C-alpha cells in the first residue's frame, strides 16, 4: 500500500519539525508500507496543488494530523476539501489532538473515512492491515470511522506501555536541512535545531489543558542520548528543543538525565518545558552544566486563588523562587501566562503583568493570551455545563476564531471589558520589549561610533 502523509502549511517561514507524523511514518515504513511525505509546509503549495497531486499520483491512503487550534481547524477543512475533490481520492485518515476528543464532529465536517484517536503507532498499523485484507473496522480499538451516514466510535486503545518499542522518527523521509533552520530563544546564528521528545504525557491536571496521554511515560536516558547522537552525526544538529509536555517531570529524573548528558559529553545546547516546583538551584545548576539554555515554564497566573481554580499545582511563592533560581543559574526562563480562567479579574491580570516586567531578561517578547477551553479539557466540559458553550461545532465555528481573542468568557467582565484589559496589559509588555531593544541598539551604536568598536557586524533585526 502507498501512503501519503500531509504536512500542512501554517504560514511560517520555517516550520517546526512534525515529530508526531514522523513517528507514524517510522512505524509504517518499518511495517513495509511505501510512505511519502507531502511537504506543503516547505513548499508553500496552494491547497489546490494537493488535489492535482492526488489526481496524478495513486495512493491507497492519505493521512493528516492536526492540533486543536482555530487556524489548524480551518486549514484542515481546506486540506480535506482538496483531498475530497481528487479524482483518485484515497482512504482519508486523520489524527492528532484536534479530532481525538470530538471524532464524530470532525468526520462529519471533513468527510474523512477514519480518525485515529490518541496515540497512533499501533492503531494505524491495525487499521491499514484491516483495509488491505478488507476486514471490518469495528474491532479496531482507537478509531472512529464513517459507515454510510453514521459515525462509529470504537473503544479507546490503552496507551503504549513501553514507548521504547517505538522507533525513532523517520528523519530520513523529511527535509531536515529545512527544519533545522528554526530559531528559538538563546540560539546562535550558526546553530542547527531540531525538536524531539523525551517522554509522553504529564503528571499534572490543569483545567485548561487537553492531552491524549494520561500520566507520564519517560523514555530511557540511553534512548534519548542515542537519538541525539544520531541527529548530531547525520544532520549536524547543535541544539535540541525538547517539545514534550514536561521534561522536568521530577527532580530525580531531571538530575539523572543531565548527569548522563555530561558523562557522555554530548556537547549540545537544549531547551525544555519545566515545572517551577522542581526548579531548585542544585537542579538548575546541573541543567546549565548539561547544556540547557532555556526553560519554558507554565506559570499561567500570579494569584494563588486562580492557580488553585485551574488546578495548576503551584503557588506564587514557588513561581517566584523558581524563576529567581533559574535566572541565578544563568538559564533564560520562558514565562507563559494566560488570562480569563475561573475567578480572574483585572487585578489578577495586572499581577501577571507586574511579574513579567520585573523578571524580564529580554530573551522573548512577552504577551498574555486569553485562556481557551479546547475540546477534551476539563474547562471545555465546564463551559458546556454552565451553558457558555454548546459543543464542538459552537467552539470551532463560532467561538474560537483567534488564539489572541476571547473564546469563552469565564469572568464577570463583559467581552469588551475583557479585551480592553488585555490590550492595556499587552501594551505595557510590548512597550517594555521594544524600549529594551531600542536601548540595546543605541548602546551598540554608542560603542560603535564613540568607542570605535571594530567587532560590530551591522544593525540587525534578528
249-280 pLDDT tens trace = 999 999 999 999 999 999 999 999 999 999 99
Would you place residue 459 in the very low, low, confident or very high pLDDT band (cuts 50, 70, 90)?
A: confident
pLDDT tier at 424 (50, 70, 90 boundaries)?
A: very high
Per-residue pLDDT averaged across 372-386, rounded? 97
Whether 207 and 304 map to the same domain: the answer is yes
Q: Does residue 445 form part of some domain?
A: no
Q: Are residues 16 and 105 in the same domain?
A: yes
Would you state the pLDDT for residue 457? 86
Same domain for 184 and 149, yes or no, is no
Residue 444 within any structural domain of the chain = no
Check whether 226 has a pLDDT greater than 80: yes
181-221 pLDDT tens trace: 999 989 998 999 999 999 999 989 999 998 767 789 999 99
Give the model's pLDDT for residue 211. 76
State whether 133 and 188 are in the same domain.
Answer: no
Q: pLDDT at position 212, please? A: 66
pLDDT tens sequence across 113-167: 999 999 999 999 999 999 999 999 999 999 999 999 999 999 999 999 999 999 9
Same domain for 140 and 195? no
The verdict on 426 and 285 lying in the same domain is yes
Percentage, residues of the chain above pLDDT 70 = 99
Same domain, 107 and 236: no
Is 270 within a domain? yes
Residue 339 in any domain: the answer is yes
Residue 15: per-residue pLDDT: 97
CATH label of the domain that carries residue 53 = 3.40.50.2300
| Residues 201 and 127 both lie in one domain | no
- The whole-number pLDDT of residue 364 equals 80
How confident is the model over 431-453, as a mean pLDDT?
94
Is the pLDDT score of 41 beyond 90? yes
Whether residues 323 and 187 share a domain: the answer is yes
Q: State the CATH number of the domain containing residue 222.
A: 3.20.20.70
Q: Which three cell numbers stand for residue 433?
A: 520589549
Residue 355: other Cβ atoms inside 10 A = 20
- The answer as to whether 404 is a domain residue is yes
**What average pLDDT does the segment 351-358 reach?**
96
| Domain assignment of residue 165, yes or no | no
How does the average pLDDT of the chain come out, rounded?
A: 96
* Whether residues 120 and 269 fall in one domain: no
Q: In which domain, by residue range, is 409 found?
A: 180-435
pLDDT in tens, 55-77: 999 999 999 999 999 999 999 99
pLDDT given for residue 462 in this prediction: 58
What is the pTM assigned to this prediction? 0.94
With a pLDDT cut of 90, the percent of the chain lying above it is 94
Verify that 204 and 338 share a domain, yes or no. Answer: yes
- How many structural domains is the chain composed of? 2
Residue 450's pLDDT band (cuts 50, 70, 90):
very high
Residues 206 and 286 in one domain: yes
Of 347, 366, 359, 360, which Cα lies nearest the Cα of 413? 347
Q: What is the pLDDT of residues 289-348, one digit of tens each?
A: 999 999 999 999 999 999 999 999 999 999 999 999 999 999 999 999 999 999 999 999
Q: Is residue 334 part of a domain?
A: yes
Q: Is residue 456 assigned to a domain?
A: no
Amino acid at each position: 500500500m502507498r501512503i501519503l502523509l500531509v504536512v500542512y502549511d501554517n504560514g511560517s517561514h520555517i516550520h517546526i519539525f512534525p515529530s508526531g507524523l514522523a513517528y507514524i511514518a517510522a512505524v509504517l515504513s518499518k511495517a513495509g508500507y511505501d510512505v511519502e511525505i507531502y511537504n506543503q509546509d516547505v513548499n508553500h503549495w496552494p491547497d489546490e496543488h494537493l488535489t492535482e497531486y492526488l489526481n496524478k499520483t495513486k495512493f491507497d491512503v492519505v493521512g493528516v494530523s492536526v492540533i486543536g487550534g482555530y487556524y489548524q481547524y480551518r486549514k484542515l477543512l481546506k486540506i480535506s476539501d482538496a483531498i475530497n475533490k481528487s479524482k483518485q481520492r484515497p482512504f482519508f485518515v486523520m489524527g492528532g489532538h484536534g479530532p481525538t476528543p470530538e471524532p464524530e464532529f470532525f468526520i462529519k465536517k471533513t468527510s474523512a473515512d477514519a480518525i485515529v484517536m490518541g496515540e497512533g503507532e499501533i492503531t494505524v498499523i491495525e487499521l491499514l492491515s484491516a483495509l488491505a485484507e478488507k476486514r471490518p473496522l469495528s474491532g479496531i480499538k482507537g478509531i472512529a470511522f464513517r459507515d454510510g451516514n453514521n459515525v462509529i466510535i470504537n473503544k479507546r486503545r490503552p496507551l503504549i506501555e513501553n514507548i521504547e518499542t517505538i522507533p525513532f522518527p523517520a528523519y530520513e523521509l523529511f527535509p531536515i536541512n529545512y527544519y533545522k533552520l528554526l530559531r528559538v530563544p538563546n540560539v546562535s546564528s550558526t546553530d542547527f535545531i531540531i525538536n524531539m521528545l523525551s517522554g509522553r504525557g504529564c503528571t499534572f491536571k490543569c483545567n485548561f489543558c487537553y492531552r491524549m496521554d494520561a500520566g507520564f511515560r519517560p523514555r530511557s536516558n540511553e534512548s534519548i542520548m542515542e537519538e541525539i547522537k544520531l541527529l548530531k552525526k547525520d544532520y549536524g544538529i547543535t541544539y535540541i528543543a525538547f517539545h514534550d509536555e514536561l521534561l522536568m517531570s521530577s527532580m530525580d529524573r531531571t538530575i539523572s538525565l543531565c548527569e548522563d548528558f555530561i558523562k557522555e559529553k554530548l556537547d549540545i545546547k537544549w531547551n525544555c518545558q519545566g515545572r517551577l516546583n522542581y526548579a531548585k538551584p542544585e537542579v538548575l545548576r546541573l541543567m546549565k552544566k548539561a547544556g540547557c539554555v532555556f526553560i519554558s515554564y507554565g506559570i499561567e497566573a500570579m494569584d494563588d486563588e486562580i492557580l488553585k481554580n485551574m488546578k495548576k499545582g503551584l503557588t506564587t511563592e514557588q513561581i517566584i523562587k523558581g524563576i529567581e533560581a533559574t535566572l541565578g543559574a544563568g538559564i533564560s526562563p520562558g514565562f507563559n501566562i494566560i488570562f480569563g480562567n475561573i475567578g480572574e479579574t483585572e487585578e489578577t491580570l495586572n499581577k501577571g503583568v507586574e511579574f513579567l516586567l520585573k523578571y524580564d531578561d529580554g530573551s522573548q517578547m512577552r504577551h498574555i493570551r486569553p485562556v481557551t477551553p479546547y475540546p477534551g479539557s476539563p474547562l471545555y466540559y465546564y463551559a458546556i455545563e454552565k451553558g457558555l458553550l454548546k459543543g464542538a461545532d459552537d467552539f470551532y465555528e463560532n467561538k474560537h476564531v483567534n488564539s489572541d481573542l476571547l473564546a469563552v468568557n469565564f469572568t464577570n467582565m463583559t467581552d469588551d471589558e475583557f479585551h480592553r484589559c488585555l490590550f492595556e496589559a499587552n501594551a505595557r509588555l510590548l512597550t517594555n520589549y521594544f524600549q529594551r531593544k531600542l536601548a540595546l541598539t543605541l548602546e551598540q551604536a554608542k560603542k560603535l561610533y564613540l568607542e570605535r568598536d571594530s567587532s560590530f557586524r551591522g544593525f540587525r533585526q534578528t
